[in-house]
């Protein structure tokens, strides 16, 4: 069977799956309505792009609609970036300032205005017949790929900041939001790289390779969309977000010291006054005593804000105390107490012989992989090896 004859079938399947997933995202009961709506828009615009393999030939008689459909591709990357922001930050809202993300679409529309949108239908059809060789098409090609590089970089930077802030404030290290978005962004980057190669081959005589890559893109898109469906079904309440006003600890420390945060290693600061040292040591001792006696770490969803409320300390002050002065991420600090308790339970004969799974839940973990990783990191042994040692 000819490669090109498979493209309409594959793309039709991908569009069908996209529509099902978009309907699910827009109708499922969840607190993440904005992020779901943005993801649905991202998926539908991708589906509109994929539909070109079987829809475009029916739109030849409607050139304005056809080129508008092609131009809408410039909204795909901004929607994905806004989705990432909405998913990571619980307080994210669409504001008038976000309208600047429409600039690439507006720029392409303006570029097409003189020779397409402002001429008669016959001239539009003639323009479309040779669209691939026009300066407007080249501008759209360069704009689209440059836009992708910009937005994918912005997304990775957003994820980096989100992850740093997350591990400083949450005891549960299994952030599904970070894993999902990171995986999705990497997959999107790989798929777009294939598309770049495919588009570049379109300018060369290697048409057979071009057709093969088109089929590969279609198959990949179908597989990725199916992955979306499975992810949504397994995690209908996606995801855990943080407050965007909560900065990383290094920024809090810099603010306290009256200086701007920097990537470079800061210059040595003057030693703190003795009174400040005494207050800090008293707070650290209070914190350690509370962790030993009250065992707040047994709560698998413990956050630095929760612990600060229990200690009646400002959350930012506690975050700096743990992440900066104790030089531990919050989840490392909490997991140290969890592992110590697990070690006691593993060696305590009065407990009988509970399973490793029972112990990990009893000490505040909710993931076997996280427990095993933390246990081996602290002891150098697996829980079973420690029990038998």
What is the CATH T-level fold of the domain 3-234, as seen in this structure? Answer: Rhopdopsin 7-helix transmembrane proteins (1.20.1070)
How would residue 267 be classed by pLDDT, with cut points 50, 70 and 90? Answer: very low
DSSP codes, 109-172: HHHHIIIIITS-HHHHHHHHHTGGGSHHHHHHHHHHHHHHHHHHHHHHHHHHHHHHHHHHHBS-
- Angle at Cα 202 formed by Cα 198 and Cα 206, nearest 5°? 90
How would residue 214 be classed by pLDDT, with cut points 50, 70 and 90? Answer: low
pLDDT over 90 (residue 17) = no
Cα–Cα distance between 388 and 381 in angstroms, integer?
10
Q: Taking each helix axis as running N to C, give the angle between helix 63-71 and helix 103-112, from 0 to 180 degrees, rounded to the nearest 10.
A: 150
Q: Taking each helix axis as running N to C, give the angle between helix 3-27 and helix 33-50, from 0 to 180 degrees, rounded to the nearest 10.
A: 160
pLDDT, average across residues 38-59:
86
Predicted confidence at residue 52, as pLDDT, reads: 82
How would residue 304 be classed by pLDDT, with cut points 50, 70 and 90? Answer: confident
How would residue 240 be classed by pLDDT, with cut points 50, 70 and 90? Answer: very low
Predicted confidence at residue 239, as pLDDT, reads: 42
193 or 66: which leads in pLDDT: 66
What is the CATH T-level fold of the domain 286-388, as seen in this structure? Answer: Arc Repressor Mutant, subunit A (1.10.10)
Q: Tokens 């003795």 identify what position?
A: 274
361 or 274: which leads in pLDDT: 361
pLDDT, average across residues 366-378:
84
Q: What pLDDT, in 10s, does the model give residues 162-211?
A: 887 777 666 665 556 677 778 888 888 887 777 777 666 666 666 556 55
How is residue 313 written in tokens? 């300390």
Non-local (6+) Cβ contacts of 279 within 8 A are: none
pLDDT over 60 (residue 384) = yes
pLDDT over 50 (residue 128) = yes
Predicted confidence at residue 259, as pLDDT, reads: 46
Q: Taking each helix axis as running N to C, give the angle between helix 207-234 and helix 176-201, from 0 to 180 degrees, rounded to the nearest 10.
A: 170
What are the structural domain ranges in the chain? 3-234, 286-388
> Out of 132-136, 141-145, 201-205, 261-265, which region has the weakest mean confidence (pLDDT)?
261-265
Helix H or strand E segment including 253: helix 249-256
pLDDT, average across residues 157-162:
88
Burial class (CB in 10 A: 0-12, 13-18, 19+), 74: buried
Predicted confidence at residue 325, as pLDDT, reads: 81
* SS3 at position 242: strand
How would residue 110 be classed by pLDDT, with cut points 50, 70 and 90? Answer: very high
């Amino acid at each position: 069977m000819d490669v090109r004859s498979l493209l309409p079938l594959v793309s039709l399947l991908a569009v069908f799956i996209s529509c099902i997933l978009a309907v699910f995202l827009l109708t499922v009961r969840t607190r993440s309505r904005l992020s779901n709506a943005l993801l649905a828009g991202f998926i539908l615009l991708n589906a509109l792009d994929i539909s070109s393999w079987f829809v475009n030939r029916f739109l030849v008689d409607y050139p304005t609609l056809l080129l508008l459909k092609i131009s809408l591709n410039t909204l795909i990357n901004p929607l994905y970036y806004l989705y990432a922001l909405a998913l990571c930050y619980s307080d994210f809202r669409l504001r008038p300032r976000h309208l600047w993300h429409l600039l690439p679409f507006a720029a392409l529309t303006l570029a097409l205005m003189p020779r397409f949108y402002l001429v008669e239908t016959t001239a539009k059809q003639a323009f479309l017949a040779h669209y691939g060789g026009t300066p407007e098409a080249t501008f759209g090609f360069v704009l689209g790929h440059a836009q992708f590089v910009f937005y994918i970089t912005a997304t990775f930077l957003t994820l980096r900041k989100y992850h740093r802030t997350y591990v400083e404030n949450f005891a549960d290290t299994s952030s599904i939001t970070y894993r999902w978005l990171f995986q999705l962004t990497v997959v999107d980057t790989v798929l777009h790289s294939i598309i770049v190669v495919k588009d570049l081959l379109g300018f060369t005589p290697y048409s057979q390779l071009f057709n093969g890559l088109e089929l590969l893109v279609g198959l990949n898109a179908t597989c990725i969309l199916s992955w979306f469906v499975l992810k949504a079904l397994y995690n209908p309440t996606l995801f855990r977000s943080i407050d965007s006003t909560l900065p990383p600890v290094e920024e809090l420390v810099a603010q306290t010291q009256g200086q701007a945060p920097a990537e470079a290693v800061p210059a040595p600061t003057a030693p703190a006054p003795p009174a400040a040292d005494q207050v800090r040591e008293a707070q650290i001792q209070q914190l350690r005593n509370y962790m030993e006696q009250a065992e707040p770490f047994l709560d698998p969803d413990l956050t630095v804000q929760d612990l600060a409320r229990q200690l009646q300390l400002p959350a930012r002050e506690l975050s700096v105390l743990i992440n900066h002065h104790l030089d531990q991420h919050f989840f490392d600090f909490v997991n140290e107490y969890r592992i110590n308790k697990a070690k006691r339970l593993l060696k305590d004969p009065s407990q009988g012989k509970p399973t490793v799974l029972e112990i990990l839940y009893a000490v505040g973990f909710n993931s076997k992989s996280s427990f095993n990783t933390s246990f081996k990191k602290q002891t150098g042994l697996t829980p079973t090896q420690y029990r038998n040692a």
